[in-house]
């Protein structure tokens, strides 16, 4: 299974916000790499961002304090 930035589960790449709810999506359906990729291809607005990469590592920089792990 692909891990999200910083080794987090791939489902962490998906924003579970108002738009996710409007689409009546269920987070339990998006726990595999294939499901997350398919969802983000159809609804790119649901991708967590920013994703910051440095020296071969990456983190979802929300909240910004998560950047501390890269520096």
> How do residues 43-59 score in pLDDT, each as one tens digit?
999 999 998 888 888 88
Residues 66, 59: contact at Cβ < 8 Å?
Answer: yes
Alpha helical stretches, state H, 2-66: 18-22, 33-42
Quick: pLDDT tens for 4-46: 555 568 899 999 999 999 999 999 999 999 999 999 999 999 9
Closest to 43 (Cα-Cα) out of 18, 3, 12, 14 = 14
């Amino acid at each position: 299974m692909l891990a999200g930035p910083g080794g987090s589960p791939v489902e962490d790449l998906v924003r579970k916000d108002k738009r996710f709810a409007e689409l009546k999506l269920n987070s339990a359906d998006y726990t595999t790499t294939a499901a997350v990729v398919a969802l983000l291809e159809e609804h790119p607005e649901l991708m967590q961002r920013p994703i910051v990469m440095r020296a071969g590592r990456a983190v979802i920089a929300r909240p910004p304090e998560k950047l501390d792990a890269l520096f």
